[in-house]
Structure 1
Amino acid sequence: MSSGGVLGVAVPGSVFNNVHRTEIGKATRDLPGDAADGVRDSFAGALHVAEHLGGRPSAALADAAGNALGSGMNAALFIGLAVVFVGGGVAVALLPPRSQELSDERASRETR
């Protein structure tokens, strides 16, 4: 059971990180190395760098950071949702109906 919890965090987290870094990477092409690293490290770092840029580049970077964060969250949540639906489908397909379990239990009591 603990491996399911680990995978439940690791897989969506990896998807989020991959999508976020890809999206934010597009916005850091024209930034100097230190500033680009700050933007890639975190959303707060991106907003901090955007604050120091000023003007139109600031707004564009802040928007790109917000969009990258949203894209990453959407992708991670979609993966989580897909896992829930697949798991539910597998459970419905493979688990016996509850009424059958109760009937089998009653029958075994009556034969004792």
Structure 2
Amino acid sequence: MSASQDSAWHTFESHEPEAMGCIQGGEPLKQQSTGEYDEQVTVSARNVSLQGYPYLIKKPDGQTICGRADGNGHLPRIHTNSADAYEIHWGDEALSHEGWSNAE
């Protein structure tokens, strides 16, 4: 993307967002509580609402979970079988990630 561009988009077939861990509208798939470990990230900033702020979580197994922060700044719970690290991409970085599906 050149410096003069301020937007980018991807087009997906109807079955592709689910394979990436999202449903239509960018909401994460409802996940059953599976695994010994779970975590839920809450994003916050002073005097700024982050509702709708885009995120993309990449788990160690390659699964991506994408969407937008809710009104309380909560991201979905991440369930794993062992203590492990995962990546969170925020804002433009999330939107430009190859695993992002349009959550508009």
Pair in the same fold by TM > 0.5: no
Identify, as 1 or 2, the structure richer in helix: 1
Q: Which one has more relative contact order, counting CA pairs under 8 Å at least 6 apart?
A: 2
TM-score by length of 1: 0.18
Identify, as 1 or 2, the structure richer in strand: 2
